Amino acid sequence: MAKLTFKTDNCKGCSLCVYACPKGILQIATDKINKKGHHPAECIDMEKCIGCASCAMMCPDCIIKVER
């Protein structure tokens, strides 16, 4: 199982990671706002993560870290 870590305070909520995830387990949090005033990305089901790192490669701000 892979582990995703997000630097949520740097996320601008662009959704590129959400569209890049082949498992569909990422979303933009509607109930949270970071220090920049954006809704950050989050993983809704870590158990389904396959560790492909597509989300991390698509992130323009490099806020996602994938550990296998």
Q: Please give the CATH topology (third level) of the domain spanning 3-67.
A: Alpha-Beta Plaits (3.30.70)
Q: What's the pTM value of the predicted model, to 2 decimals?
A: 0.91
Structure token digits, residue 61: 């701000």
Tell me the C-alpha distance between 7 and 11, whole Å.
Answer: 7
Which residues are bridge partners to 65 per DSSP? 5
- Per-residue pLDDT tens for 17-61? 999 999 999 999 999 999 999 999 999 999 999 999 999 999 999
Q: Residue 29, by phi and psi: left (phi above 0), alpha (psi -120 to 50) or beta?
A: beta
Which residues are bridge partners to 42 per DSSP? 27
Q: Taking 90 as the threshold, does the pLDDT of residue 9 lie above it?
A: yes
CA 33 vs. chain centroid, Å, equals: 14
